[in-house]
Amino acid sequence: MATLAGCAGPRSTLDPAGPAASTIATLWWVLLVGAALLFLLVMVLFVIVMMRPGWARKVSPARWIVLGGLVLPAIVLTPLVVYALMTGERLLPRSADNPLRIEAEAEQWHWNFTYPSAGGVKTEGVLHLPAGRPIDVVVTSLDVIHAFWIPRLAGKIDAIPGHANVLRIEADQPGTYEGLCNEFCGKGHSGMRFDVIVHPAAAYDAALVAPDLAGRIAR
């Protein structure tokens, strides 16, 4: 239990707070189980060979290569690859979900966010989201390559100068989360973080026009 306690925390991908992050966490556990199973099979063969060397000598080198190097890994890895590809497909943004659009702009060493649905309101260092609603975050950069990542809500995506990448995220419930740049971008990289405030869906529009909106910058 003490070991599993290390899986929690504001930047833990194994403590998901949204459907995309939950899918990624499940994939991690499935791959871990698969890797453990493959390791166990290899260790079983190793023990058999050590305890019964005569049995091992009866198997030709070519057969060891085919069975141990191809067949055995394929039994475990093929289902894992198929599952990973299916999982990745489910994480792709779907236009039919009618997502809200937010623009994230990276610059050494901070983040600016623009909310077209609120008339172009902008915030710096704080991203505001509604709970329970899919959001398309359009990510770009003004200088070097950065990476947009909210570990508990979704996977990461690169912020590339002159190019827009789209990441679908969703938060299960209101709360405060942490986001960061996950691509080394210079001496200020370690401090290039931002807060994520998730509001109740019914209060989101009002929160964006509130005079005390956290992180507001000039339009």
Which structural domains are found in the chain, ordered by start?
Answer: 9-90 (no CATH), 99-217 (2.60.40.420)
**pLDDT, the chain, mean:** 84
pLDDT in tens, 92-151: 766 656 788 999 999 998 999 999 988 888 999 999 999 988 899 999 999 999 999 999
3-class DSSP assignment, residue 143:
coil
pLDDT at 20: 86
Contacting residues for 16 by C-beta, under 8 A, at least 6 apart: 22, 24, 25, 152, 153
Mean pLDDT value of segment 156-182: 92
Q: What is the dihedral of CA 216, 18, 82, 41, to 10 degrees?
A: 120
Mean pLDDT value of segment 29-54: 84
Q: List % helix, strand, coil for the chain (3-state, nearest 5).
A: 40, 30, 30
12 or 113, higher pLDDT: 113
Using the Cα atoms of residue 205, residue 209, residue 214 and residue 219 in order, give the sign of their dihedral: positive
pLDDT over 80 at 186, yes or no = yes
Which segment of 16-25, 99-108, 158-167, 169-178 scores lowest on mean pLDDT?
16-25
90 or 7, higher pLDDT: 90
pLDDT at 2: 43
Residue 109 in contact with residue 186, Cβ under 8 Å? yes
Which segment of 61-65, 110-114, 164-168 scores lowest on mean pLDDT?
61-65
Contacting residues for 30 by C-beta, under 8 A, at least 6 apart: 80, 83
In the block, which residue shows the tokens 């998901």?
Answer: 16
